[in-house]
Amino acid sequence: MNYGFTREELDIRENIRKFARKEIEPLVGRMERENRMPDELIKKIMEMKVTGLPFPGEWGGAGSTFAGFLLAIEELSYVYLPCSFLPLVSAMAAYGLFRFGSDYLKEKYLKGLLSGSLKGAWAFTEPGTGSDPKQLHTRAVRDGDQWVINGVKRFITNSALADVAGIFALTDNGVSAFMVETSNPGYIVGKREEFMAFGSADNGEVILENAHVGKENLLGEEGRGFDILLGVEVFAKVASCAGNVGLARAALDQAVKYAKEKTHRDAPIGFKFQMTQWNLAAIAAKVAASRALLYAVGAGIDRGEDVTLDAALLKIFSSSAAREAAADALQVHGPYGLSKEYTIERLYRESKFNEVVLGTNEIQRVIAANALLRSGKGLQ
């Protein structure tokens, strides 16, 4: 299908596709066995400057489009989803700084994040909540020219890898966001999370113990942290859906490959069994629909439109489509799909995640339904 991408966007896709297949693919087995990502690979990924793609040159970005960024995340995710988290989560911190940060903070952190010399984290979730600001426990208290932050964050991607983290904490008049350097003695990396997938990705606890930051490290206005969280979440949500599309495309390709290789009485199952063909077509339909929706929402962001409703719909659809695609692709493999010898086993485990992260799909349904009810305009 022709989605009308520009030459530059197609070049980004080709470049990252080649990179991911050459540098990441050969290491996937090892990363899965060892549950870690080699430092050299992390360095190479950051050197591809994916984080900086959708940001203007003024702050060190590539000045490309958001669509180009989506294509890059999709290609990384096609090969190995955990590797896409590095630039994606750094881009969350970068987007927060770009939209809400002072020139001082932009100069100090944004340029480094966009060039790939710094890695970012974005920490809202706590043991008690990942979506409700009223249930936050982390507190920031003003002490002269400084803020002192105390609390515990959980499920934080890049918690140990990041150089700088956006930290959400309660202040006297609501939730506020702060940029905290991870070299701060009060930023302590806690337990690393063990999930059913993504073992090689860095995700864990952050303990803030009397973390002192200068008053200039407040991101945006005091008490407006939840607006910052929501603003960044729309950007990140859409980018994470590029991960759904990359993963679903990989599941489709694995299913087609297996259906051609596996024979039944000398005939490939893909040509012999209509049930197998049914599965292949069903997966392809979901991939095509997710992809078209992703690119349409990405184009809306590039036009500066408010995509709050569209982003929620995209996440609801594409995250479930990716899970269903992976499940159907595993089914095509029969029992071999359960074996770690086949890529689909990993894709199946990874495919559940985006239904529950970055605002669960229940929360997305609440967002979508409220937008529809309030606007009364339906889908334009």
Q: Judged by CB under 6 A, which of 45, 89, 167, 250 binds ligand FAD?
A: 89
Please report whether residue 143 would count as binding ligand FAD according to CB under 6 A: no
Residue 261 in the binding site for ligand FAD (CB under 6 A): no
Query: Which residue has its beta carbon closest to ligand FAD?
Result: 130
Question: Is 96 an interacting residue with respect to ligand FAD (CB under 6 A)?
Answer: no
* Shortest Å, Cβ 364 to ligand FAD: 9
Of 156, 177, 321, 344, the one binding ligand FAD (CB under 6 A) is 156
Q: Minimal distance in Å, beta carbon 117 to ligand FAD?
A: 20
The site string for ligand FAD over 172-201 (x = CB under 6 A, - otherwise) reads -----------------------x--x---
366 binds ligand FAD (CB under 6 A): yes
Closest CA to 5 of 75, 87, 84: 75
Closer CB to ligand FAD, 246 or 270, in the complex: 246
Please identify, using beta-carbon distances, which residue of 128 and 214 lies nearer to ligand FAD.
Answer: 128
91 binds ligand FAD (CB under 6 A): no
Q: Which stretch binds ligand FAD (CB under 6 A): 55-63, 205-213, 271-279, 358-366?
A: 358-366
Q: Which of 87, 96, 120, 130 binds ligand FAD (CB under 6 A)?
A: 130
Mapping DSSP onto H, E and C, the string for the chain reads CCCCCCHHHHHHHHHHHHHHHHHHHHHHHHHHHHCCCCHHHHHHHHHCCCCCCCCCHHHCCCCCCHHHHHHHHHHHHHHHHHHHHHHHHHHHHHHHHHHHCCHHHHHHHHHHHHHCCCCEEEECCECCECCCHHHCCCEEEEECCEEEEEEEEEEEECCCCCCEEEEEEEECCEEEEEEEECCCCCEEEEEECCCCCCCCCCEEEEEEEEEEEEHHHEECCCCEHHHHHHHHHHHHHHHHHHHHHHHHHHHHHHHHHHHHHCEECCEEHHHHCHHHHHHHHHHHHHHHHHHHHHHHHHHHHHCCCCCHHHHHHHHHHHHHHHHHHHHHHHHHHHHHHHCCCCHHHHHHHHCCHHHCCCCCHHHHHHHHHHHHHHHCCCCC
Q: From the list 282, 360, 371, 372, which residue makes contact with ligand FAD (rule: CB under 6 A)?
A: 360
Piece of 25-33, 129-137, 268-276, 329-337 that binds ligand FAD (CB under 6 A): 129-137
Q: Can you tell me which of 129, 146, 277, 308 binds ligand FAD, judged by CB under 6 A?
A: 129
Pick the piece of the chain touching ligand FAD (CB under 6 A) from 28-36, 172-180, 279-287, 362-370: 362-370
Give me the residues that bind ligand FAD (CB under 6 A), please: 89, 122-125, 129-131, 155-157, 195, 198, 203, 353, 357-360, 362-363, 366
